[in-house]
Amino acid sequence: MWNYIETAGNIKLWDIYSKSVANFYTKLCEYINQEKSTLNKKQKNSTTSNLLDLLYNQENQEKKDNDFPYQTEELEEEKHPILSRVEGIENSFLTRVGGIKINLESADSLYHLPNKSLEAIITDPPYYGTIQYAELSDFFYVWLKLTLGDIFPDIFYQELTDKDREAVANPSRFRNMGISADELAKQDYEAKMAMAWNEAYRVLRDDGVLTVQFNHKESGAWDVLAKALIDAGFEITASWAVSTENPQNLHQAKKNSVSSTVILVCRKRDINAPQAWWDDLRPEVANQVEARAGYFEDNDITGIDLYLSAFGVALNVFSKSYPILDNTGNEVRPEVAFAEARKAIASYRFRKLLQTDTVGFDALTQWYLLAWDAFSAREFPFDEARQLALAIGGFNVNDLGREYKLIDSASGTCKLLTPQQRLKKRAFTVNPQEFKMDYLIDGLHALIAVYEEEGNLEAVRQFMKKTGLNDNDVLTKSIEVAFKVIPDSMKEKQTLINLWLGIDEIKSKVQYFQLSIDNE
C-alpha cells in the first residue's frame, strides 16, 4: 500500500488542503476590501462601488486629456494608467500574501520552469471533445483584442484564437483527410496531452503531486487521457469523485450528463517498476472496484457517475506497473481496465437492485434495467450502450436494435424504445395464444402494452392468467427492479404504478414498492 496522504481518505485529504485554500482566500478578500477602501478615500466624489469601476473612471479621465491614449508611442514613454494601476495592485498583493506569478504559456512547453522545480501541479485539462474552447472564445477574443490588444500585444497578436495548438478532439479540423476524422482527432488529442504530461513530469519534483480533474462519460476519452499520463511516467495513487456540475446548466440539460468530476492524484512512478500481466491484475481491479462502490454510493455518487468513479479505482491498480502486457505479449491500454471496472459495477448494482441472487434473469433484461439505472434517461451514447452490453455479456450489442427492438440508434446515440414502439415493431405480441416470453423484458413490456392498448386492468389480469405470467416470480422481481430504476417522469413508470395499485397479483409480491408507498 502506498504511504501517501491521498490514500488516507478523502476527509483527511480535503481537510488539510481546504484549510490552506480557505486561508489564502481570506487574505485575498481582506486585501480587496482594503484596496477598495483606499481608492474610495482618494476619490471622494466617486459613486463607484467596486475596484473595476474605479479603474474605468480613471481611464475615462485620461481619455479627456488625450484623444488617442492607446498609441504605441505613448506606451513606450509612459505606461497606460490601467496597466500601471494593475501592476501596483499586483505588487501590493504579492507583498501581503507571498509570491504569486501568473504566466500565459502552453502546457506542452513550460520553458520558463526549471527541471524538478514544482511541488504540485493542479490542472483541469480539456474534456476530450466536450467543449470546443477556442471556437467559443472567438466571440470574446475579438472584443478583448479591441480593448486590451495594445496593453497586451503579445497575447492578442492573432486575428482569432489559435485552434491548431488546442488540445481538444475536434473532428471538423480533419475532414476529407483520407481516414476517419474522429480517429485523427483522437490521435491529435492524445499526442498533445502526451506532450503536456511529459512537460509536467519534467518540471515536477520527484516527491511532487500532479492532480488532474476530469469529467467525461465516454470511456474512450478516459482511455486517451490515462494512456498519455501513464506513458509520461505517472501512476495514479488515489482518485476522488466530487460533485461539481450544476444539473441546471443549459449545456447539461436533457443530456444524462455526469454530475461528478473525478480527481486523479498522480505521482511519478518508480522508474524500476516492473512490467505486469493483465491476467494477474484483472481480479485485483474487480475486487478494488467492488470494495469502493459502497463508499461512492454513501457519498451520493450514483448512476453513470458511479461507473466513471470506478475508472479512477481501476487506474490505481493499472498504473502501478509499466508496461501491462496481455498473454500474447502486446501492451494493454487502460480501456481494458475500464471495461473490467464497468463489469464489476454492473454486477454490483444488479445484485443490489435484486437483493437476492440473479438466477433466472437473462442478459437482455439485465442490460435494459441497468441502462435505466446508469443513465436515468431514454437517450444516451451508443458507445455506452455497447460498453454496458460487453460488461454484461450474452448477446451482440448490434442486435439490441436489429433483433430485440430495444433501441433506435443514429449519429452515435441510442434511444430506449417504449413498450408500444416495440409492440409495433413486433418485438413481442399481446395475443395470449401467441405470446412467448423468451426474455423477461418482453413480459414486462407486454403487461404495459396491454394496459395502454385496452385501457383497463381486467385485460391485464386475463393476459397474465392465460399466459401464466401471474405465477412467474422472476418476472415479478423484474417489475420490482423496474420501479427502482425507471424515472418517475416516464410513461412506463406511471403505467406500472397503475398496475401495482389495481392488480393484487402484482401488489402482493412487489414488496419494495409497497414499502416506498407506506414510508411516504
Q: Is the pLDDT of residue 251 over 50?
A: no
User: Measuring CA to CA, how many Å separate 386 from each of 178, 316, 333, 393?
Assistant: 27, 25, 18, 10
Q: The domain containing residue 206 runs over which residues?
A: 168-351
Residue 132 placed within a domain: no
Q: For the residues 249-261, what does the mean pLDDT come to?
A: 54
- As beta bridge partners, residue 118 has 204
| Predicted model pTM | 0.75
Q: Are residues 365 and 345 in the same domain?
A: no
pLDDT of residue 89 exceeding 80: no
- Same structural domain, 347 and 388: no
Q: Is the pLDDT of residue 493 over 90?
A: yes
Q: Are residues 339 and 438 in the same domain?
A: no
Mean pLDDT across 48-59: 48
Residues 418 and 310 in one domain: no
214 lies in some domain: yes
Residue 310, all three cell numbers: 470506478
Let me know if residue 144 belongs to a domain. Answer: no
- Residue 347 and residue 217 share a domain: yes
Q: What is the pLDDT of residues 181-216, one digit of tens each?
A: 888 888 888 899 999 999 999 999 999 999 998 877
Residue 123 placed within a domain: no
Length of the chain: 520
* pLDDT higher than threshold 70 for residue 66: no
Asked whether 460 and 466 are in contact (CB, 8 A), the reply is no
Instruction: Note whether residue 146 is domain-resident.
Output: no
Boundary of a domain, candidates 300, 317, 351: 351
Supply the DSSP string of 262-317, one letter for each residue.
Answer: EEEEEEEPPTTPPPEEHHHHHHHHHHHHHHHHHHHHHTT--THHHHHHHHHHHHHH
For residues 368 and 414, state if they share a domain: yes
Q: How far is C-alpha 156 from the chain's CA centre?
A: 32
How far is the C-alpha of 219 from the C-alpha of 320, rounded, in Å? 20
Q: Is 106 left (phi over 0), alpha (psi -120 to 50) or beta?
A: beta
Lowest pLDDT segment from 34-48, 193-207, 449-463: 34-48
Domain boundary among 316, 331, 351: 351
Helix-strand-coil percent breakdown of the chain, rounded to 5?
55, 10, 35
Same domain, 282 and 312: yes
Domain end, chosen from 321, 351, 381, is at 351
The H or E element that residue 360 is part of is none
Instruction: Specify the number of domains making up the chain.
Output: 3
Question: Rounded mean pLDDT of 32-58?
Answer: 54
Return the closest-CA partner of residue 234 out of 199, 260, 262.
199
The stretch 88-104 carries a mean pLDDT of: 62
Is 149 domain-assigned?
no
Q: Are residue 342 and residue 390 in the same domain, yes or no?
A: no
Q: Residues 369-420: pLDDT tens digits?
A: 999 999 999 999 898 899 999 999 988 888 999 999 999 998 889 999 999 9
The pLDDT, as a whole number, for residue 47 is 44
Shared-domain flag, residues 312 and 381: no
Do residues 364 and 511 both lie within one domain?
yes
Is the same domain home to 250 and 313?
yes
Question: 381 and 306, same structural domain?
Answer: no
Cα 285 from Cα 293, distance rounded (Å): 12
User: What pLDDT sits at residue 28?
Assistant: 67
Residues 404, 406, 411, 412, Cα dihedral to 10°: -90
| 130 vs 367 pLDDT, higher one | 367
Would residue 128 count as lying in a domain? no
> Is 138 a member of any domain?
no
